Amino acid sequence: MNRASNLKLDSYLQTQEALSQNVSIYESNVSIKVQVDQFTFDLQGLLKLKEEADQSIKWLIDEKNTIKKALELKVYTLSNALVCFANSVCDSEILEKAYVSKKHLKRLNELDLIDYYKQSIDIAKEHIAALEPFGISKAIVADVEKDCKTFEQKRFKLLALKEEKANAKNEYRMLQKKINQLLNGKLDHSIENLRSLHPDFVKYYFATRQKSKEIQHHFDVLGYLKDKATGEPIALGKVWVEGLDLSTHITAKGSFRFKDFPEGEYQLIVENINYKSLCVPIRRYKSEQSKMYLEMEAIPLEAETSV
């Protein structure tokens, strides 16, 4: 969860502590007791949802990316052998399907990559006997196929976990809204009604409540982009995190912001159609706020025209 949600949750926990320490004051009041019990129950649900939403998936991302990197090398070797075979027999169809550069292979999105893996494996199986002179055997094809299936499994599991986290975050927001309505609409008024008899308790209670209202807008990662030559802000574009389903847009004033960014080491990809893309490493702790000042090199008009 992001910093604002964590601060609000901390406020809830302090409010609960204030209530539990002074239960004797209101336990005979049925209405207040029901409201407090509901608040406590919802808060426990919120804590469980936070645990689900905050579960780390970095280990799975690392595993998926490791097998993907190894698989790309194996598939490129297989692809190159298929190209050599196609050239030797003048088979333009196989050549068209099999040819791929290392650079293009790395740029393929994961679904296209899987399609290419499967297509290459199918071609290799069909012509396996003829591929032996080019260094490809049944065992090698089976090894590539095994890694391909492992990659698909890791990818499927990662997508499932991401969906679980997203669902937990949505449920968390809805339950947090429900808690806010309970506190603002009922419990705050009920506790305020006790002020004349228990002023110290009421003051303590509202001190814990006030903390959630003091939360300001925040960021985990904030970046500013400038033209390397002119120093002018770079407007518009996109910033995304390699290996994660996490992205944000560059504003018209040349800044970007991630309100919620995971702990660990990642690569930021900064893109604008008029500039050369940037790949920027970022390493941070969960509680750390990071500011980045980046410069991008413009693509000459001549280069754009020639593409």
Q: What is the predicted pLDDT for the residue at 214?
A: 46
Q: Which of 116-130, 161-175, 204-218, 288-302 has the lowest mean pLDDT?
A: 204-218
Q: What predicted TM-score, i.e. pTM, was given to this entire model?
A: 0.59
Record: fold of 221-306? Immunoglobulin-like (2.60.40)
**If you average pLDDT over residues 3-27, what whole number do you get?**
90
Q: Both tokens of residue 200?
A: 């110290």
- pLDDT (0 to 100) of residue 101: 84
Judge whether 263 and 284 are in contact, CB under 8 Å.
yes
Given a cut of 80, whether residue 284 has pLDDT beyond it is yes
pLDDT attached to residue 212: 54
Predicted local distance difference test score (pLDDT) of residue 103: 83
Count how many Cα atoms sit within 13 Å of the Cα of residue 151 in the half-sphere of its side chain.
23
CA pair distance 263, 6, nearest whole angstrom: 15
Q: Does residue 217 register a pLDDT over 50? A: no
What integer is the mean pLDDT of 162-180?
Answer: 94
Question: How large is the average pLDDT for residues 72-97?
Answer: 90
How far is the C-alpha of 221 from the C-alpha of 262, rounded, in Å? 10
In this prediction, what percent of the chain has a pLDDT beyond 90? Answer: 62
pLDDT tens figures, 247-279: 999 998 899 999 888 888 899 999 999 999 999
Per-residue confidence (pLDDT) for residue 223, from 0 to 100: 92
Instruction: Report the run of H or E that residue 249 belongs to, with start and end.
Output: strand 247-249
* C-alpha distances out from residue 214 to 1, 94, 211, 218, 223, Å: 18, 65, 5, 12, 25
* C-beta separation of 67 from 154 below 8 A: yes
Per-residue confidence (pLDDT) for residue 250, from 0 to 100:
95
| Widest distance between CA atoms in the chain | 96
29 φ/ψ angles, rounded to the nearest 5 degrees: -90, 105
**Cβ(100)–Cβ(77) under 8 Å?**
no
Give which of 82, 112, 114 is closest to 99, Cα–Cα: 82
User: What's the CA gap between 256 and 251, in Å, rounded?
Assistant: 6
Q: Which helix (H) or strand (E) holds 132?
A: none
pLDDT digits (tens, 9 = 90+) for 123-159: 999 999 899 899 999 999 999 999 999 999 999 999 9
Average pLDDT, rounded, for the chain: 89
Q: What is the mean pLDDT of residues 90-95?
A: 90
* Helix locations, the chain, DSSP H: 3-21, 23-26, 30-53, 58-89, 92-98, 102-107, 110-126, 128-131, 138-182, 188-192, 199-213, 301-306
Give the pLDDT of residue 8.
87
The predicted structure's pLDDT at residue 218: 58
- Ranges for all domains in the chain classified under CATH 2.60.40.1120: 221-306
